[in-house]
Structure 1
Amino acid sequence: MIIPVVLAGGSGTRLWPLSRELYPKQLMALVGDRTMLQSTLERLSGVNDMGAPIVICNGNHRFMVAEQLRLSGITPRSIMLEPVGRNTAPAIAVAALTAVADHSNPILLVLPADHFIVGIPRFHDALNAGQRHADEGALVTFGVAPTTPETGYGYIKKGDPVSAGQDHSPETEGAARIEAFVEKPDAETARAYLRSGRYFWNSGMFMFRAADILDEMRQQVPEIVAACEQALSSGCRDLDFFRLDADAFARCPSDSIDYAVMEKTDRGVMVPLDAGWNDLGSWEALWHTGEKDKSANVISGDVVVHDVSDSYLRSTSRLLAAVGLSGHVVVETPDAVLICPRNRTQDLKLIVDTLKAGSRAEAMVHKTDYRPWGTCETLVVGERFHVNRLTVKPGQQLALQRHTLRAEHWVILSGTARVTKGRDAFTVTADQSVYIPEGVAHRLENAGDGPLEVIEVQTGTAIQDTDIERLEDVYGRK
């Protein structure tokens, strides 16, 4: 059996302002109408003996991840929550330990949740080739045949050819020993790599038997395996999720599987992948993969242009107009606008770092914040008031909570609400309202079959998240 291990814990800062720390790119539909996470799993359809996935993600994203899997009709083997980011080696160790816990030894297919692949049949061919090598004990990585001298990717230098047993089929042709992993090169070095034909982009996808990768990790990085074993044994089940123990996982060294194992092992095999792969790690990458107009522009949303060429323009909430641009990225969201030359998109992290240093909310969240019960859209923010639009999904409810420094006024726009206010519980429908004074316990539930739409007006001396005392919560939030 093959068990997909989906690494979905990234923050996607290189696609700011669309991607935010609490709503990263893997949870968005950047190309087409499926999110990156959904597409990652759905492209495995048709591969023989594919089991239920293990998904590893940040605890802040858990409900969005679970909902996207539900909408895709996918029941995961496990959704594992990382209390802190520790790179790919610990995540893979946790998945391998989980996979062998039932005394089996499946093949693990490690997939980042935010990649884009065009040629699904060729992708399946590469997986079939990787499986043959993994069956013989190899630790397989997939190298992408480069098409441009890309400076934003790491590279793999291929060594001597290798076959899986007596298999010399076209599917396995081109597999090679790994001679070296190479860091992101400068432009001149990248051009030399492309001319040589011996260097491949490092896709970050892997395939190996669970016991084989654990054996190698115990030799190379035993401290990572020990910390992950402790994080699992001291972890706990939380609704549909498994929480790794925070203290044990925090003590785990942070390292990538490339550094920790693949650069050191003599069992590494690279299988070539020529399937239109892209990690969509920048706005430049989205321009390359997007459908272009006659002026080589990629346009999304309500956009009007004149004398614009070779640019990426995306609007999410209003009209975006541009004149006289060439080779630029312009991205609009309700609370931020990015304007950047296409050849400078790798520097976007500097902007995000500046926003974080200033504790700017725009680095973390959108005006629409996704909650386990629905969404909260910020409409107006004043010195002593906030106005939000709440959308509560059918059958869902907010936490029973109270506030010390603010009062709330709910106006029902549509749907049927079940309101708890102190010791009272009652039903409220469209055009009716409820006032919640400071210090009174309250809860809002959707008692209807459709979405519940509510305007929430918060007033008080200090309107902040720290002024929330959760008394009871069906989602297990503190």
Structure 2
Amino acid sequence: MKVVPVIISGGAGSRLWPASRQSHPKPFLKMADGYSLIQHSVLRAASIVGAAELVTVTSKDHLFLTKDHFDELDSVVLPRTFLLEPEGRDTAAAIAAATIHAKATQGPDAILCIFPADQMIGDLAAFGSAISRAIEHAGQGRIATLGINPDRPDTAFGYIEADGEKVVRFVEKPDVETAKSYVASKRFFWNAGIFCFKAQVMLDEIALHCKEVVDAVLGSYENAAIIDGERFASIELSAKHLAVAPRISLDRAVMEKALNLAVVPCEMGWNDIGSWNAMAELIPPDESGNRIRGDVHVVDTVDTYISSDKRVIGTVGVSDLVIVDSPDALLVASRDRVQDVKKLFEGLRAAGHDAHLLHGTVHRPWGTYTVLEESEGFKIKRIEVNPGGRLSLQMHHHRSEHWVVVSGTAKIVNGDQELLLTTNQSTYIPCGHKHRLENPGNIGLVIIEVQSGEYLGEDDIVRFEDVYGRT
């Protein structure tokens, strides 16, 4: 039996702003143990007996960030395939793409195990038992899903009504009173969004209930651009064909209509990290009910979640708040309004504010940069280039730059010159000069870049060569 674990990594994680941004969304957030949510998903997926290939469906824009997180996990040696969406079309299209790929590479009877990239599971032994049972159902031609035993009437989740392991119906997010009745009945489970099924079984169901999805995704897969890497393959789905796929979830497209469904009830320490309250649950409370991360000092503070990356936070006489501080943004919200952080995120996006898109530290395929200071006419950045990383050969119309090496070795193209600089050495790049920065060493390269000019926007860049395929 061939098993194909599939990680679905999409969305902006808007309810977890300011930690999550559009260019660095929720799956890449690091947890207290140092692993990101997507890394936890990879480790769970790789633990499945019989796993033949690890497939990840993600945005084209997040390929290199995803790959970096995967590369940090030396223990995972499964073949990796990245299915790259030019734009998100919801989970029905994403899962259809993974299913079409699994059928093509592993056969129509391959069993797919679908995992969202943004969940935490505390009891891995219970998870393993539940997945094994779901795989058994899948082997018998059913679409199996994991149902989480609810411990409260939560309105943020969809529910599954069941009779034993037979699914009666899927239910959308209920109101509070309905959720209370569901929990009291003992017949309902939270929908974890974790599925197991044979490739051909799922394709038949999507074709039966939402044919437009499978037709569009099949065309997109057959016209994809394929790149084979040293340890991974990436398949960039055709934007033209995928654009006609309906935006619809797998629940609406298939699970609410199919008859061959099974649910595996389980208690495995599941946490869908969908809000700051869910994030707070990962931290044990103090004697006043506060959950604290970072350098935080409180006086007469109760039932409050406080998270700080760097700065000291002090509170006096507050309760029932969420306070999240990041280097470039601060969130203060009532704990009963954390779902509305999404409205704040959408407001920033509508206003064109960079805070919805980027962190102070921005990830690139070659490494990161952090804006240290910016004012009219100048900008100062800290740039870190990974070993072997190379920026594009580029030019700017409106700014000049001064580079100072802080640590490591820099290989630099500056006009007609090629330079090799080490700590405390520098070079000046006039406006209009072609230039490139590269790290030829085996340790990180750190430089300070000082930009000067009339316009310092990130879009003032002309690329002539780029190893990462950017234009």
User: What band does the TM-score fall into relative to the shorter chain?
Assistant: over 0.9
Secondary structure at 1:289 match in 2: coil
**Shift in Å, 1:248:** 1.0
Q: How does 1:67-466 map to 2 (within 5 A)?
A: 67-73=68-74, 74=76, 75-102=78-105, 104=107, 105-158=109-162, 160-161=163-164, 175-176=165-166, 178-238=167-227, 240-466=233-459
State whether residues 45 and 54 of structure 2, in contact with CA within 8 Å, keep that contact through their aligned partners in structure 1: no
Partner Cα distance (1:27, 1:103) in 2:
29
* Partner deviation per Cα, 1:455-474 (whole Å, 9 max, x = no partner): 11111121112211111111
Bigger shift: 79-88 or 294-303?
Answer: 294-303
Secondary structure at 2:252 match in 1: helix
Secondary structure at 1:21 match in 2: coil
Q: In percent, how many aligned pairs have the same letter? A: 40
Opposite residue 130 of structure 1, the aligned amino acid is: A
Q: TM-score, normalised by structure 1?
A: 0.94
State whether residues 83 and 243 of structure 1, in contact with CA within 8 Å, keep that contact through their aligned partners in structure 2: yes
**Shift in Å, 1:46:** 4.2
Partner Cα distance (2:281, 2:80) in 1:
35
**Shift in Å, 1:280:** 1.1
Secondary structure at 1:231 match in 2: helix
Opposite residue 168 of structure 2, the aligned amino acid is: E
Partner Cα distance (1:424, 1:47) in 2:
53
Opposite residue 280 of structure 1, the aligned amino acid is: I
Opposite residue 90 of structure 1, the aligned amino acid is: A
Secondary structure at 1:352 match in 2: helix
State whether residues 5 and 46 of structure 2, in contact with CA within 8 Å, keep that contact through their aligned partners in structure 1: no
Partner Cα distance (2:58, 2:335) in 1:
30
1:29 and 2:30 are equivalent in the alignment: yes
Question: 1:2–1:440: structure 2 CA closer, same or farther, 3 Å change rule?
Answer: same
**Shift in Å, 1:181:** 1.5
State whether residues 158 and 173 of structure 2, in contact with CA within 8 Å, keep that contact through their aligned partners in structure 1: yes
Aligned residue in 2 for 1:164: none
* Partner deviation per Cα, 1:427-471 (whole Å, 9 max, x = no partner): 111111111111111000112222111111111121112211111
State whether residues 408 and 436 of structure 1, in contact with CA within 8 Å, keep that contact through their aligned partners in structure 2: yes
**Shift in Å, 1:411:** 1.1
Opposite residue 84 of structure 2, the aligned amino acid is: L
State whether residues 46 and 54 of structure 2, in contact with CA within 8 Å, keep that contact through their aligned partners in structure 1: no
Secondary structure at 2:57 match in 1: strand
Partner Cα distance (1:185, 1:330) in 2:
28
State whether residues 55 and 76 of structure 1, in contact with CA within 8 Å, keep that contact through their aligned partners in structure 2: no
Opposite residue 209 of structure 2, the aligned amino acid is: Q
Opposite residue 428 of structure 1, the aligned amino acid is: L
Opposite residue 326 of structure 1, the aligned amino acid is: S
Aligned residue in 1 for 2:18: 17
Opposite residue 385 of structure 1, the aligned amino acid is: F
State whether residues 139 and 198 of structure 2, in contact with CA within 8 Å, keep that contact through their aligned partners in structure 1: yes
Aligned residue in 1 for 2:62: 61
Secondary structure at 2:370 match in 1: strand
Opposite residue 204 of structure 1, the aligned amino acid is: G
Opposite residue 118 of structure 2, the aligned amino acid is: D
Gaps of 5+ in 1: 162-174
Opposite residue 218 of structure 1, the aligned amino acid is: A
Partner Cα distance (2:238, 2:48) in 1:
34
Opposite residue 124 of structure 1, the aligned amino acid is: G
Opposite residue 95 of structure 2, the aligned amino acid is: I
Secondary structure at 1:127 match in 2: helix
Secondary structure at 2:194 match in 1: strand
State whether residues 152 and 183 of structure 2, in contact with CA within 8 Å, keep that contact through their aligned partners in structure 1: yes
Bigger shift: 255-264 or 238-247?
Answer: 238-247
**Shift in Å, 1:91:** 0.6
**Shift in Å, 1:189:** 1.3
Q: TM-score, normalised by structure 2?
A: 0.96
State whether residues 410 and 457 of structure 1, in contact with CA within 8 Å, keep that contact through their aligned partners in structure 2: yes
Aligned residue in 2 for 1:48: 49
Secondary structure at 1:326 match in 2: coil
State whether residues 9 and 57 of structure 2, in contact with CA within 8 Å, keep that contact through their aligned partners in structure 1: yes
Partner Cα distance (1:438, 1:7) in 2:
43
**Shift in Å, 1:24:** 1.0
1:474 and 2:467 are equivalent in the alignment: yes
Partner Cα distance (2:377, 2:401) in 1:
12
Opposite residue 2 of structure 1, the aligned amino acid is: V
* Partner deviation per Cα, 1:254-295 (whole Å, 9 max, x = no partner): 111101011111111111121111111101112223222222
* Partner deviation per Cα, 1:87-142 (whole Å, 9 max, x = no partner): 00111111111111136121000000010111111111111111111111001111
Partner Cα distance (2:205, 2:172) in 1:
22
Secondary structure at 1:43 match in 2: helix
Partner Cα distance (2:412, 2:48) in 1:
48
Secondary structure at 1:443 match in 2: strand
**Shift in Å, 1:353:** 1.1
* Partner deviation per Cα, 1:19-56 (whole Å, 9 max, x = no partner): 11111111111342111011112124543212221001
State whether residues 287 and 311 of structure 1, in contact with CA within 8 Å, keep that contact through their aligned partners in structure 2: no
Opposite residue 54 of structure 1, the aligned amino acid is: V
Partner Cα distance (2:80, 2:408) in 1:
35
Partner Cα distance (2:450, 2:47) in 1:
50
Opposite residue 61 of structure 1, the aligned amino acid is: H
State whether residues 410 and 435 of structure 1, in contact with CA within 8 Å, keep that contact through their aligned partners in structure 2: yes
Aligned residue in 2 for 1:168: none
